[in-house]
Amino acid sequence: MLCTTQPTPAAVRIAIIDHYDSFTHNIDAWLHSVVPRVRTEIVAYDDAAAVAALQHAPCPLVLSAGPHSPTEAQPTLDLLTACQGKVAVLGICLGFQIICAWLGLAVCRSRCPQHGRRRTIFRCRRGGLLADLPMTFTAAAYNSLAVPRPSTLPSHWYASAVSAEDELQAIEFRGAKPICGLQFHPESFLDRGSAPLLRRWLRLAAE
């Protein structure tokens, strides 16, 4: 459940899809730090029964980071297909890469792999999930894989941010049930000022 003094409606159930990464618990803590009374459910991506239950009764999803590649997370790819257009989705790091792979974008070795460092991020548009952040900001990077900035995207999908290496850092589907992916880690202790980003996604998720 979600109940805050913010203009976010109540009664929103959020499932965190865990790709067996310690950052999953950081994401859970981040959600609670921004919206203290939010209720979350952590679901292992390969828990077939739990994932099937989400496919039949979907709720807003947060796709966690993880140590592997999108090709090793087929259950999450299938879950995205089942839940498309039904719930809002937020993918972080591996979760972002899974969204990109699901769209058919290339996921490859980063030109500048970084783990536990701040990276400069450049926004590509003024609206969307990052609307409350500066056009240039720093964020926590923990990735060896990356998605090169594509020349084109499917209709209603937007490249929202890139790195200096022109690797995609944020992607969004702006529909009734938005899908948003972030290569960087807004839940990291290295991050500053990510609360507006999460509040905006929670409002979108609750609509």
- pLDDT, average across residues 48-73: 93
The count of structural domains within the chain is 1
Per the model's pLDDT, the better-predicted residue between 60 and 143 turns out to be 60
Residue 89 resides in a domain: yes
User: Domain range spanning residue 165?
Assistant: 14-206
| Catalytic residue ranges | 93, 185, 187
CA distances from 41 to 33, 59, 150, 207 (A): 16, 10, 33, 20
Q: Do the beta carbons of residue 179 and residue 172 sit within 8 Å?
A: yes
pLDDT, greater one: 156 or 94: 94
Q: Does some domain include residue 62?
A: yes
Q: What is the pLDDT of residue 6?
A: 43
Residue 189 lies in a domain: yes
pLDDT value of residue 162: 96
Whether the predicted pLDDT of 180 surpasses 90:
yes
